[in-house]
Structures are given as C-alpha cells and as structure tokens.
Amino acid sequence: MQITGKTKIVGVIGDPIEHSCSPQMHNAAFEQLSMDYVYVAFHVKAEDLKAAVDGFKALNIVGINVTIPHKQGVIPLIDKLSREAELIGAVNTLVFKEGTIEGHNTDARGFIAAMKEAGVDVPRGESVVILGAGGAARAVVVSLALEGVKKISIANRTASRAIQLASDISQKTGTEIHGMGLDDKSLPEAISESSLLVNTASAGMDLEHPLLIDENWLHRQLVVYDIIYNPPETRLMKVATEKGSKTIGGIGMLVHQGAIAFELWTGQYPPVDVMRQALMNALDL
C-alpha cells in the first residue's frame, strides 16, 4: 500500500483502540480492490471526542467507525441520524459528506446480512427469542423488528433491563416485544414456539460458563445464532449442533457490519471473503 497526497482516509475511534481488528479487515479490502484509501485507528478519550470529530471534518476524512465508549456520546455531534441509529440509540459509523456528518449503525444490517449469508431466511411473521439486553441486543431487536418479525421475547439476567428494552423498541416500531428474566417460567415455551434464538450475552465467550438456558429447551426447528465471534464456536452453538439445530456464529455479523460501513464510505461493496480472512488472521483463528 502506497500512501500519496491523494489517499483518502477512514478509520476508527475508541478508548482503548489498540485491540481493534478493523484496520486489518478494511485495508485488506482496499488492497484487493486497488483503492487509494487507508484505514487508521485513532485513540480518542471521551473529553476529546468533540475536538476529534471537528478535526476529522476539517481534515476531509471520509468516514469513521465509532466503538466503545463513544457510540452514544457522538450522537449530539451528528447532523443526520439513520433510522437504525435513531432506534438503537447508538452510532458506529460516521460519514462526512459535503460539510455534514451522517451517523449510522451498521450492526443491525450486518446481523441480517450474516444470517442471509448463512442460508437462513429472516423469520418474518414468526417468533424469536433474544438472550441479553445490552447494546448488542438492542441492535438485534431493532433489526428483527424492522424486518417484520411477529413476536420478540427478550430474556436477561436482570429482568428490568429486558422489560425496559422491550417496551422502548415496541413503542417505536409497533412490534410485539416482551421482556423477562432468564428464570421466567414462560421462557421455555417462548423458545419452543420460536424459529430463531439469538445470544447477545458476553457470557458466551467463556467455554466453561454454564449455558444461560436449559439445553433441553433447544429443538431441531430452531436456528441458534450466537453473535459472540471469539471463540468461533461457542458452547451454546456446540450444544445446539448436537441437538440438531442449525447454528450461526458471530464472525459474519462482525464482517458484514464493517462491509456496510465500507460501502457507505466508498459506494462499493467490498470483498467480504477477503475481509473475513483478514479478521480471522488478526484474531489468530
């Protein structure tokens, strides 16, 4: 990669940021397509966020990915929010265009794109269950609501968070959404009636951690989608496979949310297979 006076700049901000694999993923795609772009990681602290965004705008940066802890804090600095970003209440992609700043959240579309890539149809008119009620769960719930899912049940260790999330997104989208605790007696029935189970809880990263649900609730008609990407096969996925369920891991969502940001910046959809391999290499998987 040769950087010249014409090279366009995109990147990612966060605190910390050294762990990010986005530079490897995007730069591999730029190289494959022979595009004169470079993707850089910027360490930005919360107190410097406005100065950083103003600086990007002044320097004609094309676009920026936004990660923890800035996904909410950046919103007041944005001129125009996408529908998904508004509903999710978080932004992970900035586009600098003609003196304005657009804010997007590509997690929702990335979640759906990875599902379709795995050969799974969006369960429109059907029921789904989401485990967890954090920021990732919010993106997943919004994506499924906008895609026309009939009913969403959110189960979380702290029931009040699930109930609050359900109420908020239900009011904004008109979708039937219920929140409950992981110990709620109606959860087994909700899973039995669902065609899709999505885990968004970070507990899935630990292969030794007990499952959040009883494995006997899983069934062959259920697609189990764990958005945890490391390890590539979580304990939930392993058990679900043994039960005869189709499974989807989190690598695809991570790659596709990046690919959608790439397209927002360049107008061109990148080679997803190249981005995926670069990500796997960066994660030593």
- Bridge partners (DSSP) listed for residue 177: 152
Based on the number of CB atoms within 10 Å of its own CB, is 171 exposed (0-12), middle (13-18) or buried (19 or more)?
A: exposed
What is d(CA 66, CA 77) in angstroms, rounded to the nearest whole number?
A: 13
Reduced to 3 states, what is the DSSP secondary structure of residue 110? helix
| CA–CA distance, 41 with 59 (Å, rounded to integer) | 16
Q: Are 254 and 110 in contact (CB under 8 A)?
A: yes
AA letter at 188 = P
**What DSSP state is assigned to residue 208?**
T
Catalytic residue from among 45, 71, 116, 185? 71
CA distance 182 to 270: 39
Give the position of tokens 């796997």: 280
User: Six-digit token pair at 89?
Assistant: 């209440």
How deeply is 1 buried, as exposed, middle or buried, from its count of CB atoms within 10 A (0-12, 13-18, 19+)? exposed
150 classed as catalytic:
no
Provide the annotated active-site residues.
71
